[in-house]
Amino acid sequence: MWLDRDRTLILDRNRDTWQLPLVDCSGDYVGQVVGQIVEPKACMVRYFLVYDPESERRFPLPSDLVVQIGDEIHCQISPQQIARLPEYKQQLEREHEILIYQIIDRIPYWEESLQP
């Protein structure tokens, strides 16, 4: 059930976003949302789990990149960044999260509260 050693993240199959198409900052189709990675203690969705049919892989997309949810999910990420995101393999440890946030060049959610 838990995706990390610290027991902070779980996978949820939320019906509201299940199978919604994901669109990148160029307006191009990326894949389908197949789940949400949630931090239950904070009641926060931390990542959307996306399936890319072209590369036949699943990857976690940080939820703070999402700018709009409707019939599609629009996000602020380039195709180059998407290609570099690690494949999801049934777990998401902090070292994977650090790599993800380095790729997208953003402050990680666990450090946001430390900012002045």
Q: Which two tokens stand for residue 50?
A: 């996306």
User: Mind listing the pLDDT tens digit for each residue in 37-50?
Assistant: 999 999 999 999 99
Q: At the fourth CATH level, which superfamily is domain 10-105?
A: Photosynthetic Reaction Center, subunit H, domain 2 (3.90.50.10)
Q: Which two tokens stand for residue 104?
A: 């997208």
71 has pLDDT over 90: yes
Residue 112: predicted pLDDT = 78
Name the residue ranges covered by the structural domains of the chain.
10-105
Q: Among 57, 114, 66, 61, which residue's Cα sits nearest to residue 92?
A: 61
